Amino acid sequence: MIRYLTAGESHGPEITGIVEGVPAGLPLNEDSIAHHLERRQKGYGRGGRMAFEKDHAEITSGLRFGKTIGSPLAMRMPNRAYEKDDSNWPKVMAREGDGKGVEPVTLSRPGHADLVGVQKYRFDDIRPVIERSSARETAMRVACCTVARLFLKHFGIEIGAHVIRIGAVGYQSWDQVRSITESFIETGAESIYRNADESDVRCLDKELSGQMREEIKIKRKEGSSLGGVYEIIVTGLPPGLGSYVHWDRKLDGQLAQAIMGTQAMKGVEIGLGFEAAARPGHNVHDEITYEKGRFERRTNRAGGIEGGTSTGMPLIIRGAMKPIPTMIKPLKTVDFVSKEQQDTRYERSDVCALPRAVVVAESVIAPVLANALLEKYGGDSIEEIAERYNPVQS
């Protein structure tokens, strides 16, 4: 089974990633990973760091002649902020010494991990919490998960996402979203992200894209921030991945954990999700048909999962991201040393990180789906898995 680990701090020398369990023989190169890293750095409302951080993951082990060899893949990604000639980060993030001369951070930011991190680990400085809880870590997460994404693509399974809401601006109904994604689904989910990427807010609707940009401009002038909702679609999944027999083998539960384990995510829906609770049953459940030698559903309100198991229909997941808590207009907080109430300090931040977070969300579900595929059709090499793979529809 595939699993990955990341290590490193936001302003440390580099971020490191290790991916183990990748079958031997998967074609892989750094350019294929760089494609999604570049996508992660684009989007309207982004902060200043994206202007100089050009992420590149260097593969240092587990690859030979352009194919995986079954051993762990290791990757490194230097932090350019650390490497700049005028950078103070080597002193602030020094691995040795007593920290003298480095001013501690003692003002917790509401909405961040600052205060709970200090309470949990008994730090006298918030800096270690800031550095590891930062969304900078998601750059390496995208790199690691892209390996699983390429594994899925090898077997015809594609992932693509688009933004459906930023703040108060978004689609009005489930059916409206379905009407705009239907034609893309027929050609594979990657066509969804490629078309969404043509918009700097990653929305497939041009009129809504313009409204979303205006919403971001307004909140920037107000010194505030915005979150939103995105939708991920996966095509090519066979039926029978996951299981209903135990709670921890349910595919929807595992996917929800992957989304909620990502910075700033506050909610997940599969298919109709919360809207299903407001509809009568006849407008929720998908009627089953048998056509051209296979079972299908007339609709896909279940989002491709029933009983914790894939149905063979496109997988539809929605995630909700909260507004970035670092804002120009300060909030009230308390210095954890002096106990005095103060205004939060502003640090460089996005106004709306949702368009970039979409790429992270696409990525983190890939290992979940790859492991579900391996559980059912597994082997130690791509060739062996291909011999066993039979996405039965009947």
**Topology classification of domain 3-388:** Chorismate synthase, AroC fold (3.60.150)
Query: How many C-beta neighbours within 10 Å does residue 69 have?
Result: 17
Which structure tokens are listed for 330? 């300060």
Q: 253 burial class (0-12, 13-18, 19+ CB within 10 angstroms)?
A: middle
**Amino acid identity for residue 140 in this structure:** M
pLDDT in tens, 7-59: 999 999 999 999 999 999 999 999 999 999 999 999 987 665 555 568 999 99
Convert the pLDDT of each residue in 109-147 to its tens digit: 999 999 999 999 999 999 999 999 999 999 999 999 999
pLDDT reported for residue 108:
93
pLDDT of residue 292: 85
Average pLDDT, the chain: 94
Residue type, 105: V
List of E strands, 21-172: 58-61, 63-64, 67-68, 73-78, 158-166, 169-170
Are the C-beta atoms of residues 4 and 144 closer than 8 Å to each other? yes
Other C-beta atoms closer than 10 Å to the C-beta of 276 total: 18
Contact yes or no for 59/73 (Cβ under 8 A)? yes
> What pLDDT score was predicted for residue 303?
98
Lowest-confidence range among 80-89, 215-224, 241-250, 373-382?
Answer: 80-89
* 345 — pLDDT class (breaks 50, 70, 90): confident
Amino acid of residue 63: L
